[in-house]
Amino acid sequence: MNDLLAQLDDLPDEILMYIFKKLYNDEVLYFLMDVNQRLNRILHDRVFTRRLCLLKYCRIDNSTIPLPDSILDRFCSKILPKIGHQIETLYLERTSIERVLHATNYINLNKLGLCDIHYTEAMSLFTELHVTVANMEDCLYILDGRFDQLRILYVTFYGIFLGFFNIEHKEKLLPNLRIFSLYCKQQTHDFDESIVPLLRRMLNLEELDLNIQVKCYEKFIDGDTLKKDIIIYMPQLYKFTFNICSIINHRNQTIFPLNEDIQKTFKYFSNNEIITCIDHFQEEGCSQCHIYSFPYKLKVYNNITNNFLGRLFTSVTEVSLYDERPFEHEFFLRIAQSFPYMKELTINNRKAQNNKKLIKLNNDNQILSIIEYPYLTRLNLIKTHDDYVELFLFDTKISLPNNLHLCVDYQSLKRVTYDFTRYITRNHSSKLAALYFSPLDQIDEHIKNYFPHIYMFFC
């Protein structure tokens, strides 16, 4: 065995990877994990850890056979604690389920196969679930009674569709559920018909986290709405965090409450600081009310406008900006200070800057503060006025990191670089690692000379 390992160690990494890929992941991990640092480094590659099958199949009758105790013990005590965070798919046999699931935390697990196990036995194993589903209907299937022992549920879905009203168990009470988090990534029109009835089934809920965008027709969602529609139905609730953006079209309503009026509806919410902000968009023909409990917990903060007052958001890594009024220097400084760990920034603003000439004069006089985005990796300027493309490419008061990926409109880039002839000493083109454009028939040869070491892609 030692001779074999010595021979393996003489091979380059590429050959070892090729050999190991021909074997089963469980065998490679069992025999070679912790042999030496080099093999450990190779075996931690996702190709060996993202999918793991801890059982054997009998080809005679197509049944499953548990792994020997000695092998399972080594996995549970030595291997799984080191790679559990990398496992995405896991297949288990009935007798080993509890041992393996309790060996470590599987934070990225999204597929679990349970072989040779009875339905009721499987359901009794789970008291906590973190799931991502396509829509509300899939969420309701989880809460139709098959997971009666479920106490903690974190669910993310992309949309709410009217078809879910046909779910047979939609009114079944959920007395055992204690903690529930709901995050809907797309706008819903059915707050009163979908989300409110679902929450009212959770009689003994103690913690609730609600992150939604809602199209409303008469009034914004405020503290009074949350209290009368949700909170009074949850007598055990002691922790309520939320991030809710409600939107009303101007054709449905012309008179809107002031931000101070919305803030007053939260006067009895004592457990959290509540931030409220109302924005009106005349060109788009709608108004929105954003309410959230602070501190903010999500990684994403979308559609920030000039009304944003600024706070410290250490959890946020993705930010998008939108307004029908121009963004000026002080606004970008406030964004940089509020989101110190921001990695992705999208700017959607078609309005030219009002103070562009003044900013240039103050730049020359060294008056303005430097705006720093030290962790930025992706910048999307596709739906912006030329002023913002110019700002991030040429403004000396903007500090950008290396290896930045820039998404930009080709014609806009062509204009601000004077048809790719604007060669000045102080610009940020050297910071770029890649450029992304909408599909074009042909790219001008001048751009390749202007950005000679940058990869270019169509998006």
pLDDT in tens, 381-422: 999 999 999 999 988 889 899 999 999 999 999 999 999 888
431: in domain: yes
Domain boundary at 270, 295, 320, which? Answer: 295
Give backbone dihedrals phi and psi of 274, rounded to 5 degrees, phi first: -110, 125
Q: How high is the pLDDT of residue 164? A: 46
Q: Is the pLDDT of residue 117 over 70?
A: no
Same domain flag for 304 and 452: yes
At residue 363, the pLDDT reads: 54
66 with 93: CB under 8 angstroms? Answer: yes
Residue 285 is predicted with a pLDDT of 94
Please check whether residue 12 lies inside any domain of the structure: no
Q: The domain that contains 364 carries what CATH number? A: 3.80.10
Using CA atoms, how far residue 104 sits from 41, 85, 91, 132, in Å, is: 20, 8, 15, 21
Q: Region 278-306: what's the mean pLDDT?
A: 94
Question: What's the CA gap between 67 and 413, in Å, rounded?
Answer: 60
Indicate whether 56 belongs to any domain: no
Domain count along the chain: 2
| Pair (316, 459) in one structural domain | yes
Domain-terminating residue out of 264, 295, 326: 295
Shared domain for 441 and 306, answered yes or no, is yes
Residue 458 lies in a domain: yes
Q: Which residues pair with 240 in a beta bridge?
A: 208
Domain co-membership, 248 together with 313: no
C-alpha 240/C-alpha 181 separation (Å) is 10
User: For the chain, what percent of residues have pLDDT higher than 70?
Assistant: 88
Contacts of residue 204, Cβ cutoff 8 Å, sequence gap at least 6? 175, 176, 177, 178, 234, 236
Task: Give yes or no: residues 289 and 155 share one domain.
Answer: yes
In the numeric block, which tokens belong to residue 430? 């050297």
Q: Per mean pLDDT, which range of 158-167, 282-291, 366-375 is the poorest? A: 158-167
Does the CA dihedral 225-230-234-238 come out positive or negative? negative
What are 190's two structure tokens? 């059915």
The answer on 314 and 448 residing in a single domain is: yes
Cα–Cα distance, 321 to 302 (Å, whole number) = 7
316 within a domain of the structure (yes/no): yes
Is 79 inside a domain boundary? no
Residue type, 324: E
Does residue 262 sit in the same domain as residue 391?
A: no
**33 assigned to some structural domain:** no
Give yes or no: residues 217 and 343 share one domain. Answer: no
Instruction: Give percent above pLDDT 90 in the chain.
Output: 46
d(CA 401, CA 347): 18
DSSP string, 295-306: S---SEEEEE-T
Last residue of a domain, one of 280, 295, 310: 295
Q: Judging by beta carbons within 10 Å of its beta carbon (0-12, 13-18, 19+), is residue 66 exposed, middle or buried? A: middle
Residues spanned by the domain of 402: 299-459
Instruction: Give the other-Cβ count within 10 Å of 115's Cβ.
Output: 17
CA contacts within 13 A on the Cβ side of 35 = 19
Work out the number of other CB atoms within 10 angstroms of the CB of residue 9: 12
Once rounded to an integer, what is the mean pLDDT over residues 268-295?
A: 92
What's the rounded mean pLDDT across residues 102-131? Answer: 74
Same domain, 240 and 372: no
Residues 361 and 255 in one domain: no
Any domain includes 8: no
Q: Which pLDDT score, from 0 to 100, does residue 311 have?
A: 94
DSSP single-letter state for residue 219: S
Q: Do residue 285 and residue 403 come from a single domain?
A: no
Same domain (yes/no): 445, 403: yes
Q: What is the spatial distance between Cα 243 and Cα 301, in angstroms, rounded to a whole number?
A: 10
